[in-house]
Structure 1
Amino acid sequence: MSTLFNLDRLGAWRDLPFFETQLPRIETALGTEADFLPATDKVFAALEQVQPEDVRVVILGQDPYPTPGHAHGLAFSAAASVRPLPRSLGNIFREMTDDIGACPPDADLRFWADQGVLLLNTILTVPPGQAKGHRHLGWQSLTGEVLSRLSPQPRAYLLWGATAQEAARTVDPVANLKIETAHPSPLSARRGFFGSRPFSRTNAWLQAQGGRAINWANPAEAA
């Protein structure tokens, strides 16, 4: 049984072996720290919000924003009040505007999750102010199990940067849509993220599969 986290909201994800075999060790390590981000009730928010059968698009991030008040458990997303936008998210919105002509009004991307977009970081916690500070805890095992669980059905995978691409290296590029580009961070966005048009390409693929497009830009109209 988890000592730090409430796993009751995980639904079908709760059956993944990670929660019995790996999480107890991670919890022990986290228990020695004074603080970590996001808050304990938000660490598994991405999985809590989208059940396996509802996932249509997977976007893999690296680890939570290390700035207190920003991270809330979904990759690249942040609290609606966060201003200015985290720089990677600002570049995502810039590319989206170039691609589809609009972008969300704020940093909160939970309305994407409501439409079946799994915004999963490969590392689920971070010490305040220390990006990748928990890269050795073993969270990446969960990512592997999540992707394995999703593998039987075709989905779209937006893989921005080497970390995401390595995590999803076994995803079949024939059965699924795999869009692999540079990361949207200021250091790399000009090396292939800008101009990649991931949002329109994903929607075109979803519709070709007989599904509905993702409303990327307007939370008020998202179903």
Structure 2
Amino acid sequence: MAPDGLPDALGAWRALPFFDTDWPAIRDRLAAEDRVILPPDHLRFAALEAAQPGAVRAVILGQDPYPTPGHAHGLAFSAEADVRPLPRSLTNIYKEMQADIGAAPDSADLRFWARQGVLLLNTALSVPAGSAGGHAKLGWDRLTRQVLERLSDRPRAFLLWGGHAQSFRPWITGPDHLVLASAHPSPLSARRGFFGSRPFSSVNKWLTARGEAPIHWAQAEAT
């Protein structure tokens, strides 16, 4: 971890203006918190570390980290492999995947998606334990906007689940992207348009039409 509190593995993302203009104030606010903040500091930017800009082929926007201690590890919708039962939104994601492509992962850990170029980005990168949405107004949204602008440089797939994620649509610019908007996989809304949306096969159909390899959504490709 560098003296500014940022991991060395941020790589090309470090060039975003956010890290000079906004991060210092957010870092100080986090340091002043007397509550437990999730995920742990060293995992805060894990999604960006795991998928550098040039490698990103698809983006899935989440809202904020899981507020249950031991769940969040820095990637949207993902959790540690030993988490049982699965978080409810992830359970619904797997239900839709099973219906869509006939298979789903056997654990909550989606880091193998990131290794294939899927950026699993929450629009807030911190949350007080037990207080979902507690850092929604901390200023993280400015990072999300800049990430989307940065990734608008060439065609990519963007999955916007729910109204919150869809509110960032204006920062996806340029032609030829695949933008899939549907209801959120939360138990409160999954039946209002997430189930039946077939996002996983749609992304792979788009990628293969472009001559790119499909994403192995259900399990890591054997090597």
With the shorter chain as reference, the TM-score category is over 0.9
Distance 2:171 2:117 in 1: 21
Deviation by residue 1:168-198 (Cα, 9 ceiling, x = unmatched)? 2332485100110000000000000000000
Contact 2:149–2:173 (Cα < 8 Å) also in 1: no
How many residue pairs get aligned? The number is 222
User: TM-score, with normalisation over the residues of structure 1?
Assistant: 0.96
Deviation by residue 1:52-85 (Cα, 9 ceiling, x = unmatched)? 0000000000000000000000000000000000
Paired residue secondary structure (1:31) = helix
Distance 2:5 2:158 in 1: 28
Contact 2:155–2:175 (Cα < 8 Å) also in 1: no
Distance 2:219 2:2 in 1: 37
Distance 1:24 1:3 in 2: 11
Query: Aligned AA for 2:5?
Result: F
Asked whether 1:5 is paired with 2:5, we answer yes
Contact 2:96–2:198 (Cα < 8 Å) also in 1: yes
Percent identity reads 62
User: TM-score, with normalisation over the residues of structure 2?
Assistant: 0.96
> Relative to structure 1, is the Cα distance of residues 48 and 11 closer, same or farther in structure 2, using a 3 angstrom cutoff?
same
Distance 2:222 2:198 in 1: 20
> Relative to structure 1, is the Cα distance of residues 152 and 53 closer, same or farther in structure 2, using a 3 angstrom cutoff?
same
Contact 1:91–1:185 (Cα < 8 Å) also in 2: yes
Flag structure 2 segments of 5+ consecutive residues without an equivalent: none
Runs of 4+ deviating beyond 3 Å: 1-4
Distance 2:161 2:170 in 1: 13
RMSD: 1.5
Query: Displacement, 1:209?
Result: 1.0
Distance 1:12 1:41 in 2: 18
Paired residue secondary structure (2:188) = coil
Partner of 1:203: 204
